[in-house]
Structure 1
Amino acid sequence: MLTCPLVSTIPTLRLFGILLLVVSLNAHNKSWDRPICTEGIMSVLRGNPAVMTCNISNAFTDVTIQLTAHGKEDRTIFKKKPQGNFSWSGWELQVQGGQAQLVIKDTQDDHTGIYLWQLHGRQKYYRNITLNISEPSNEDKVTDRRLFTPSPDPVKSSLLEDKPGTLVGVIIVVLVLGVIGIIIFVCYRHRRS
């Protein structure tokens, strides 16, 4: 008759308990970047400013922005820029802490396209923001010039971004609890027989 001594399971249970504690603390850890960026498509009148932003919970290590325009070769606007202010050919990038902002003061047709943001904080993230430039109508020329950009919805973005990390944490906790339960069940069965 095989028995499962209680002494050998205590270190195993302690190990799983410590692992469970680490996993549960990591699942609720605030070290996730949780990026919130300008929504996917924005339209701006020609000549008006355009502002795109990406914010994360931690400080940026670096930010890279590439532009893919229809029929043109991809071009890198800013590559691995750390904290600070940078400008190049009509684009201005400001990176401060966990906030990055791309500003185009006078939008023209060559600014149109898909902007691929490569964000690097504690994790790496990729975001696409499409910028469309439209011709101002006569009414727009008479009235004050406004920026037509959708603002990011922090509640929607944070809920969507938190789910993958939380889901992984929950799956790990369930697996660890399952393994602990199986070990206890096997030891219990062997002790009783």
Structure 2
Amino acid sequence: MLLWALLLTLISQGAGAGAWDDPVCTEGVVSVTRGAPAKMTCNISNPFLHVSVCLRAPGWGDCQRGGDCRAVFTQAAPGCSSGGGWRLCVEGPSARMVTEEARDSQAGEYRWTLVGGQTEQLCTTLNVSEPPEQPSTPPWGTQDPRPAQDLHSAQDPSPGRLHVALILVPMLLCILALGGLQFWRRNLGHPMHVQFT
């Protein structure tokens, strides 16, 4: 009986000191275009003691089995460091690795070795693809991307402008006619004399 009590005490003390890490990391495949930012994160229940990240070229077998893996970071927590175009920051139970501009040389399988209450290994794959091709601009200038009917309608005046024009044009014609009539009436009483010398 005393042996069982001692065993339960040891188990409960060990469970409190070394609770499971329960890692939650960026999983599967992260796909970005070349030059775009990329981010991978890992969070655990306990503070990190150490974080290592290494890179395997795409298609080199199972990431979990080790083998040919180039070290990107080996860092005792906490702190931040930079290398290979990446920045790794580890603080408490959180680790974040970011790059502002993904490059082809960064593509591959990243194996994270996380040391907290336990040691875990997790893998994330980064795919870096070509940026979408931008439509080329012809040498004579840019083309309007709208369809032909949109271009035609863009050249037609709007109904509001047409309404204003229908009011202003007759008013201007009336003013010109009245001005011409006034000019003719003034000159009616004074015949024009032309002298030849």
TM-score, length of structure 2 as denominator length: 0.57
Match of 1:101 in 2: 96
Match of 2:164 in 1: none
Match of 1:162 in 2: none
* Whole-Å separation in 1 of the counterparts to 2:11 and 2:114: 25
Residue range with higher mean Cα deviation, 101-110 or 129-138:
129-138
Q: Is the 8 A contact 2:18 2:118 kept in 1?
A: no
* Whole-Å separation in 2 of the counterparts to 1:23 and 1:137: 57
Match of 2:36 in 1: 48
Q: What is the aligned length?
A: 127
Q: Considering Cα pairs closer than 8 Å and 6+ residues apart, tell me whether 1 or 2 has the greater RCO.
A: 1
Counterpart residue type for residue 3 of structure 2: L
Match of 1:87 in 2: 82
* Whole-Å separation in 1 of the counterparts to 2:52 and 2:132: 34
Q: Percent identity?
A: 43
* Whole-Å separation in 1 of the counterparts to 2:15 and 2:79: 32
By how many angstroms is 1:118 displaced? 0.7
Q: Does 1:134 align with 2:129?
A: yes
Match of 1:61 in 2: 49
> Cα gap change, 1:114/1:31 in structure 2, threshold over 3 Å: closer, same or farther?
same
Of structures 1 and 2, the larger Rg is shown by 2
* Whole-Å separation in 2 of the counterparts to 1:27 and 1:81: 24
Aligned match for 2:107, one of 105, 112, 134: 112
Aligned match for 2:2, one of 2, 14, 24: 14
SS at match of 2:3: helix
Residue range with higher mean Cα deviation, 77-86 or 46-55:
77-86
TM-score, length of structure 1 as denominator length: 0.58
Unmatched 5+ stretches in structure 1: 1-12, 140-193
Larger helix proportion of the pair: 1
* Whole-Å separation in 2 of the counterparts to 1:71 and 1:23: 43
Counterpart residue type for residue 49 of structure 2: T
Counterpart residue type for residue 79 of structure 2: G
Counterpart residue type for residue 95 of structure 2: A
Q: Give the alignment of 1:149-168 within 5 angstroms.
A: none
* Whole-Å separation in 2 of the counterparts to 1:28 and 1:81: 23
